Amino acid sequence: MKTVLITGAAGFLGSHLCDRFVNEGYKVVGMDNLLTGSLKNIEHLFKDARFDFYHHDVSKFVHVPGRLDCILHFASPASPIDYLKMPIQTLKVGSLGTHNLLGLARVKKSRILIASTSEVYGDPLVHPQDENYWGNVNPVGPRGVYDEAKRFQEAITMAYHNAHGLDTRIVRIFNTYGSRMRLDDGRALPAFMGQALRDEPISIFGDGQQTRSFCYVDDLIEGIYRLLHSDYHLPMNIGNPTEITVKQLAEEILEMVPGTKSTLSFNPLPVDDPKVRQPDITLARNILNWEPKVARNEGLKRTLAYFKTVV
């Protein structure tokens, strides 16, 4: 039985990865300091002998006894409301945490996959964004703590690959949605659904014409799993290339909640908020034979059904 360490295991994506790897027959070691994660996301795994959990901050020294075949580093605040509230922790987990885990991978001779983000492209001047684009990031703006933490994460991962021959993977994750997202995490989709279910105004920042591309979580997890098991070590976009304006998303969600008293409310656009976001997934299609399968309408229905149970 192979063993995988998943950091950020109690978070949105981390918990879904724990499920996938347990189901694939792996021994899963989950690690999380619960800064933004919740044990509710993984409590169903506690009775499974193939799952262990460590309450630990990876920005400190990381030790896992025994054999370790793979590491997936998903620990980090990932929504603006979180990383603006916790800028130092965000920078530390992207730098010190990544350094610790790369060191662990080197000692254990493990393959390691690092979770990067479309935010490395900043407010892009190229559209759609492919992996060769270097980005347009304000390093001292409010979003810089997350953007630059992830950019550093990529740089140190490539340094370990080139200097030490470490077996590395880098996934650039675009907007993803699904069950186990927090209603209060500040991202558009859970915010809109929560507001619609509570009959509150739908808070749109700016005029709502900025675009995003939303990938259902099951599709994303499949792409990550394939990337880990591929031979490709350079950064790869994983996301849904179907683009939609934020205003269109809000209107679609309103239609899905019949009887809601919610209306659209327009607010000032945050500093450095990206105007466009759309992945070029040519690499993923060609190398992984991967592309998203779940249509937005179906994914939104599944996600809304989840939020109805927690609102």
For 301, how many CA atoms within 13 A lie in the half-sphere containing its CB?
5
pLDDT at 228: 98
Task: Name which residue leads in pLDDT, 117 or 269.
Answer: 117
Q: Which residues are catalytic?
A: 146
Task: Quick: pLDDT tens for 146-203.
Answer: 999 999 999 999 999 999 999 999 999 999 999 999 998 889 999 999 999 999 999 9
Which pLDDT score, from 0 to 100, does residue 272 have?
Answer: 86
**Residue in 104, 108, 105, 120 with CA at minimum distance from that of residue 153:** 120
Residues 250-309 have pLDDT tens digits of 999 999 999 999 999 999 988 888 999 999 999 999 999 999 999 999 999 999 999 999
pLDDT at 224: 99
Of 1, 24, 15, the residue nearest 229 (C-alpha): 24
Domain 3-178+215-240+279-292: CATH superfamily is NAD(P)-binding Rossmann-like Domain (3.40.50.720)
> Domain coordinates of the chain in residue numbers?
3-178+215-240+279-292, 188-209+243-277+302-310
**What span, in angstroms and rounded, lies between the C-alpha atoms of 30 and 17?**
10
CB atoms within 10 A of CB 27: 19
Nearest to 111 by CA among 266, 254, 4, 13: 4
Determine the Cα–Cα distance for residues 265 and 285; give it in Å rounded to an integer.
Answer: 38
Global pTM? 0.97
Q: In CATH, what is the architecture of 188-209+243-277+302-310?
A: Alpha-Beta Complex (3.90)
